[in-house]
Amino acid sequence: MTPGRMLLIVNPTANHGETETVFPAIAKLLQSVAHDTVYTTHTGHAAEIAASAAGYDTLVAVGGDGTVHEVLNGIMQRPADDRPTLGLIPTGSGNDTRRTLGIPTDITDATLTLASGVRRSFDIGVCNGVYFNNSFAAGLDARVTAKAVEYKVTTKRSGLWLYLTALLHVLFHELYPHRVRISFDGEPPGEVDLLIVAATIGPTYGGGFYITPDAVPDDGLLEVCVIDPLSLPQALMRLPFVIFGKHTKMRPVHMSRHVSITVESDDPMPAQIDGEVMVDRRYEIRLLPGAIECIVPGA
């Protein structure tokens, strides 16, 4: 497979600036492949570039999940008949999108996949007009994500360890449920108390937590995990099981598959979309089957 005319959208600050350090090696690996390169300079820049980049067959996000999220949203701003293929070189800290797409962990292998891989269609989600290629979650998880953003700067941690540190802080200091009205697939809403509601395309978030271990990224369905309110001892006891995806049969955990979800709260409720935090009273989430084409390793 040839990626055609390719643009690398590089976030030099990803993974505490490590992306800028390793990028010369990436560029050397691609020296025989026609491509252009542009560096992002501010939040939202990757989306702006992706939305306006004309004449390219493939747009490659070089960075972490936030960079991929921006590039995806830029691509989806374009007309349906003018959307480039999405490529990924995962140089970030969490890299959950890498797991969803099956991109190699090794940077060299991931880079070479751009030339040797295949194009494959994947599902994406949209929540309140924002697109996501991996996960939406509301409740406790969003508070954890916000704390992880803080800890990423103050502790220089990354990946699963960063998210776990943030999670422990929230469990000990901000463990409380949310009263919401939730509706699946257009059915009448039900009022429930919950700790977490997550709707995902891929199996992990938070740098490797297997919140929805059975998620399939091209099956046309969102994998949904709802967790009932828990006390601190109950949450701590279940935490190791959630990390490894062994929680799905537990009584407080409810797994299901849907094409749309609406979550509504009387009070502003935090949520995260591909690791980006937002706050609203109503979230409308739906799946767009096979809406993005990505370059992934061949069979």
Indicate whether 180 and 106 sit together in one domain.
Answer: no
Residues 6+ apart with CB under 8 A from 127: 136, 271, 273, 283, 284, 285
- What does the mean pLDDT of the chain come to? 94
Q: Is residue 125 part of a domain?
A: no
Q: How many CB atoms lie within 10 A of CB 36?
A: 12
Q: Are 294 and 102 in contact (CB under 8 A)?
A: no
Indicate whether 157 and 109 sit together in one domain.
Answer: no
- pLDDT higher than threshold 90 for residue 208: no
- What is the sign, positive or negative, of the torsion defined by CA atoms of 208, 213, 249, 188? positive
What CATH number should be reported for the domain holding residue 94? Answer: 3.40.50.10330
DSSP per-residue codes, 71-129: HHHHHHTS-GGG-PEEEEEE-SSS-HHHHHHT--SSHHHHHHHHHH-EEEEEEEEEETT
Q: Cα 189 to the chain's mean position, in Å?
A: 26
Q: How many CB atoms lie within 10 A of CB 229?
A: 19
- pLDDT higher than threshold 80 for residue 192: yes
What CATH number should be reported for the domain holding residue 202? Answer: 2.60.200.40
Indicate whether 37 and 102 sit together in one domain.
Answer: yes
Question: What distance in Å separates the CA atoms of residue 141 and residue 163, rounded to the nearest whole number?
Answer: 10
The parent domain of residue 21 ranges over 6-116
Q: Looking at residue 257, what is its pLDDT?
A: 98
195 DSSP 8-state letter: S
- Domains contained in the chain, number: 2
The gap between the terminal CA atoms of the chain, to the nearest Å, is: 13
Indicate whether 158 and 277 sit together in one domain.
Answer: yes
User: Which of 86, 116, 146 is a domain's end point?
Assistant: 116
Confidence tier at 1 by pLDDT (50, 70, 90): low
Total H helices, total E strands in the chain? 8, 14
pLDDT digits (tens, 9 = 90+) for 7-25: 999 999 998 888 999 999 9
Q: What is the rounded average pLDDT of the residues 279-296?
A: 97
pLDDT digits (tens, 9 = 90+) for 230-261: 999 999 999 999 989 999 999 999 999 999 99
Indicate whether 88 and 179 sit together in one domain.
Answer: no
Written as one letter, the residue type at 50 is A
pLDDT digits (tens, 9 = 90+) for 34-49: 899 999 999 999 999 9
Could you tell me what percent of the chain has a pLDDT over 90?
Answer: 83
Q: Looking at residue 246, what is its pLDDT?
A: 96
Among 190, 195, 179, 154, which Cα is nearest to 262's? 190
Q: Is residue 96 part of a domain?
A: yes
∠ CA 129-125-100, rounded to 5°:
140
Q: Is residue 121 part of a domain?
A: no
- pLDDT higher than threshold 70 for residue 188: yes
Beta bridge partners of 87: 60
Helix, strand, coil % over all residues of the chain, rounded to 5? 30, 35, 35
178 DSSP 8-state letter: E
∠ CA 162-165-169, rounded to 5°:
140
Q: Is residue 72 part of a domain?
A: yes
Q: Looking at residue 214, what is its pLDDT?
A: 97
The tokens for 110 are: 């991931």
Q: Is residue 208 part of a domain?
A: yes
Question: What distance in Å separates the CA atoms of residue 196 and residue 214, rounded to the nearest whole number?
Answer: 18
Q: Is residue 124 part of a domain?
A: no
Indicate whether 202 and 83 sit together in one domain.
Answer: no
Q: What is the rounded average pLDDT of the residues 49-76?
A: 96
Question: What distance in Å separates the CA atoms of residue 127 and residue 43, rounded to the nearest whole number?
Answer: 20
Q: Is residue 55 part of a domain?
A: yes
Q: Are 96 and 205 in contact (CB under 8 A)?
A: yes
Confidence tier at 223 by pLDDT (50, 70, 90): very high
Question: What distance in Å separates the CA atoms of residue 224 and residue 185, rounded to the nearest whole number?
Answer: 12
Q: Are 194 and 142 in contact (CB under 8 A)?
A: no
